[in-house]
Amino acid sequence: MEIDPFIFRLSIFILSIFVGYYVVWSVTPSLHTPLMSVTNAISSVIVVGAIIAALAGSAEKIFETANIFGFLAIILAAINIFGGFLVTQRMLQMYKKKKK
């Protein structure tokens, strides 16, 4: 019997939860704010779906309803990607060790 591909995706999902669990516990508490902003940025990889949605359909009708939702999602995700990574970078630049 063949295994449903869904089961593979579910396996990836559950294993990733475990990976996330151990990785996040090892994050130092002083970096919890950058952790939140960077998770914001990476969860915006949802832009992948937005791009597919925006580009689907025939080449003549670029702005059908389904595409418009894709384009809107692209803007939202892009704000998050750029905003999230840049603000994380800005924060991390500030963390400095004592000058000896």
Nearer to other proteins, 1 or 71 (CB): 71
Shortest separation between residue 1's beta carbon and other proteins, angstroms:
17
Q: Are 31 and 55 contacting, i.e. CB atoms less than 8 angstroms apart? A: no
Residue at 16: amino acid letter: S
Nearer to other proteins, 1 or 6 (CB): 6
Of 54, 97, 96, 100, which is closest to residue 74 (Cα–Cα)?
Answer: 54
**Side chain identity at residue 62, one-letter code:** I
- Write down the least CB distance from residue 49 to other proteins, Å: 4
CB of 7 to other proteins, least distance (A): 11
